[in-house]
Structure 1
Amino acid sequence: MQQVERTAVTTRFPVSILLFIGILAISFSAILVKWSAAPASIIASHRLLVTVIIMSPLLYKFWPEMKKINGASYIKLMWSGLSLGLHFLLWMSSLRYTSVASSTAILTLEPVVVMVGSYFVFRHKTSFSAIMAMLVAILGAMMIGWGDFRFAGDAWIGDVLSFLSMVAVAIHMILGKSLRTHMSAFVYSWWVFLIGGLLLLIYNLIIGYSIFQYDANEWLLFLLLAIIPTLFGHVLFNWLLKYMSATTVSMSVLGEPLGATILAYLLLNETITWIQAGAGLLLLIGVGLFIKQEK
């Protein structure tokens, strides 16, 4: 891939506020999925396709840009969308075998994979102090779910699926960084959501799951998943890829285990241990130091 230059660009809003909004939004994902009784692959496909439906009325504003997309960009969009759809399929399938905390903790390895990939693709080097901050944050994120790790029975299957889903989303993030240098966040997000959603839809048809026969409560959850963690989470992170390195955006996603734990305490009456509280503080310190080093 062509090397991407890091240019000085500014935003109207402080990046820290935008990152907080994105982290809070994606933290609702696990809560909404837990409330749904639909199959995991149905939740994933409907989440993406409902998002596409919501975004489509505004697509006419970006039609001139759509017509300028070349063949090479379409190939990257295809791989990015397939990676995102595969991430959702593997991650939500992992929850059938292992716990939410365990699966989410494994996903915290994403910044490491993105950092290595960004070095080979963009020649983006990360300082030693930033790497140390990354390890501190990852340690904190994994400690949040450590007490819920299970190695007996079929739990290892869920852990493997979660690891593969982490690799898939890392590829999606690196491709997104490349495409966002010449493509708007709206157009990029619309295409990858459409491709990922159609992949999952085909999977559901092959499995034989019902596509439409779900009650109003389930469709409300699909809608909330589309609006909160997807539009205010993934789309926002896709937008930030133009202003931040892919590794830094991936580091911000580490806040999801902490946010999900707090929301589970408030909405699901789940308990928070002192170890989890200390781990959350460790995670925030690590992410903060990393972003400061990479600024």
Structure 2
Amino acid sequence: MSRLLALSLVAVLSISSASVIIKLASAPALALAFWRLAISTLIISAMFPKALNLRCVSGLNVLYVLVGGSSLGLHFITWIESLSYVPIAVSVTLVTTHPVFTALLSYLLLGERLKWRQYVGVLLCVLGVLIMSFSGGLPLHSSLGVVLALAGSATASLYFLVGRYLRRSCSLAEYVVPTYLTATFITFAASTLSGVNLVNYPLTTWLFMILLALGPMLGGHTVLNYLLRYMKATAVSTLAACEPIGATLLGVLLVGEVPDVQMVLGMLITLLGVYAVLIHEG
């Protein structure tokens, strides 16, 4: 097995583990979102201490960092909460549609034209979401979970769109550190206002919280960023889009969530739409 293939498998498994870890942690979404961001921020700050000078946070960039960080915080809050209402397969597939939202926002806000295959991809995603939403295997009140997962996807796309702009003048670390700090503050404020307990949890829950920050971040997103040096951006984006498949398999094996045929059909159609948008991006 080649080194790049091995790293690709590690990355997909790592990012796919997030939803299962969330299910096993048995903690409120706000607490999980806060600690994932807080621990990740500490690790990234330790890895890139020079980014703490906040050189990029000046002028108009302050507004962009606030928007990007708030979007990231809301992304984690809404997506993690969606897992309380819908199965892993549905939640992760829906939140993985963020490239579609990014393409649409790029068209609406930046005037970037979409290719006709990307329009087809958007329609496929809509069809796939509808098929999953009306699946008989979904529990009661699942419509709220669908809305939350889509909100998580939309806020993720806004985070990536802001990042695309800031990366023109900032390094990755210089953008990520202040953005993560903002997201951490947003989740802390939301937790405090909601009266959510952030401290008193059993040891097993703390271990899952730490694992949630370490696994998907270090083994997942960090490895994906490393692979960008040796692989095309589209290939790396496609690896990230494999998360629903890995998450569904882990969900079946570790928490016993087996999707029905209609869910799987909707999932595959949605992922095909995401791939159509990704493969023709730029």
Which residue of 247, 260, 269 maps to 1:260? Answer: 247
Alpha-carbon separation, structure 1, partners of 2:43 and 2:200: 21
- What corresponds to 2:78 in structure 1? 90
**Deviation at residue 240 of structure 1 after TM alignment:** 8.7
Tell me the equivalent position of 1:228. Answer: 215
Deviation track 1:111-154 (CA, whole Å, cap 9, x = no partner) reads 222111112444433321344356557766876787466485x3
Q: Structure 1 residues 163 and 136 mapped into 2: Cα distance closer, same or farther (>3 Å)?
A: closer
Q: How far is the alpha carbon of 1:29 from its aligned partner?
A: 0.9
Q: 1:28 maps to what in 2?
A: 17
Q: Deviation of residue 237 (structure 1)?
A: 6.4
> How big is each residue's C-alpha offset from its partner over 1:82-113, in whole Å with a ceiling of 9 and x where there is no partner?
01111111222233333333333433443222
Alpha-carbon contact 1:85-1:200 (below 8 Å) kept: yes
Aligned partner of 1:42 in structure 2 is: 31
Distance in structure 2 (CA, Å) of the matches to 1:63 and 1:245: 30
Tell me the equivalent position of 1:114.
102
> After alignment, is 107-116 or 171-180 more displaced?
107-116
**Against the structure 1 CA distance between its residues 142 and 194, is the aligned structure 2 distance closer, same or farther, given a 3 Å change threshold?**
farther
- Residues 243, 140 of structure 1: CA spacing in aligned structure 2 closer, same or farther, 3 A cutoff? farther
Q: Which shows bigger deviation, 277-286 or 39-48?
A: 277-286
Q: Is the 8 A contact 1:23 1:255 kept in 2?
A: yes
- Following superposition of structure 1 onto structure 2, how do residues 233-248 of structure 1 map, counting pairs within 5 Å? 233-234=220-221
Cα deviation, residue 51, structure 1 = 0.7
Partner of 1:60: 49
Return 5+ residue gaps in structure 2 as ranges: none
Unaligned runs of 5+ in 1: 1-13
User: Which residue is equivalent to 1:174?
Assistant: 161
Q: Does 1:104 align with 2:102?
A: no
Deviation, structure 1 residue 32 = 0.4
Q: Which has the higher contact order (CA 8 A, sep 6+)?
A: 2
Work out whether residues 88 and 257 of structure 2, in 8 Å CA contact, stay in contact via their aligned partners in 1: no
Q: TM-score, normalised by structure 1?
A: 0.75
Cα–Cα, structure 1 residues 185 and 238, in superposed 2: closer, same or farther, change >3 Å? farther
Q: d(CA) in 1 for partners of 2:139 and 2:255?
A: 25
In 2: Cα distance, 1:250 partner to 1:289 partner: 12
Q: Is the 8 A contact 1:185 1:239 kept in 2?
A: no
- How many matched pairs? 281
Shift of 1:282: 6.1
